Structure 1
């Protein structure tokens, strides 16, 4: 523990320094806050932070390193997200009373302008439902003055007229005041007894119907056969290409063999010629030696 050296702590950022660094970061936020993670993007971010540190130190009396500015901005983002989450939790929480206000400084709005709103508030969820929209509506019948007797008031259910395809008007009254169990023996209304039209595309809400020319499995089988045929053509093309390459290689090998054979024959011919020449030179030297000895013997006899 005694051998560890404590990191020298720099002075705190003043409010003017905070606003200056956030304004500089906002100028280059399209590079710093980019979500790309490739090597080129990292190099651009490092170069941008170096540029920001140079501009910051040129306008400020206290020197701040690039790492210090990056650390300040990261901490500021965490603090801003925390304040935004606290504010949203205070607004949406249940119970009586008012929401506890969150203390914000001048740098909060600057940091929010730099950050991506989705990383702070999340993705906005649009509520949806299965409610059917009414195609058309009808206005209320002409109203009568107050006090005038209304002979046949229409029920409130018929205020809205839903446009449907050829719905016959009911012959009986829609009210249930005079309805008795004996009415159960009457035939079903034509509108209710009408059979559902067969849909050519869907036989039910969950299962698709058969196609006019075949089912889905047949289409997949045809597609598989086409793919097999294409693969076979590609295989034949590849085999022909391999055969042509093999023929080319064989021709090159045969050419190289002929060339090597010619070179060997030429070398053997040259070797034989050199050997014959060597033998002739040897015989010539031997004859010269014999001639010189004969001349020496002749001189000795004199």
Structure 2
């Protein structure tokens, strides 16, 4: 056999078998996700461009959006809900995520006793139903039969107690802090996992340079977990602008008092399905849902194409 024939035989590409089993395993999840998420989203966006005209569903283009932002009553409700949603998100960003990071940093300290118990105790509220959480906190904070006044009286702070859920000035903050209490375990666990993923060689090198304790956290660990903090932040953004259940449980569909806890989710619910004397409007409800989708899409796109690119240099 000549050298040329040997070379031709060696360069023949090997045909890899088709991995059809991957599609088989992914198909059920893909079909369920498409049926539950993708198709309803497409139908909602489509419905926002239609309205009932003379008893028939007709294409109206962007007219629903013009009504949403131009009608005095609808626009006032929308901007109030959007402002409350932004405040709801800011409270989570300024309270929930820093507290979660601080707890994760303390749990990652070597030699901490009962660390597993603390992790479980802090994460358990995340597993509870929002109905249970809302009902429990309504009982706790009730000025009539709640235990909050008695507990504050034990430490001499009963004078500071007020019906926080019943006052327009404090209701949104109170509901936000209840949500923070329930979901602080999520950023804690994500940041805790990121801290454990830091290579030991990096920490040992820092100790050799005399960087230990909290100084090590601020100068070494925090920059290295910035990508995880970014993920936690975008998850918080998406979750808060999709929020509905806890506000509905604690304050009802009207999100009282006087709409002070009304967010986009509760406004969407009342507009789409109707409530009490308010008639449901599917087209206008779909319009509000489309605006929510665009807000979330803009926030996620900002993170993916601007913030994440700047954080890549910290990843291993």
- Please give the TM-score of this superposition, normalised by the length of structure 1: 0.20
> Could you say which structure has the larger radius of gyration?
1
The structure with higher relative contact order (CA 8 Å, sep 6+) is 2
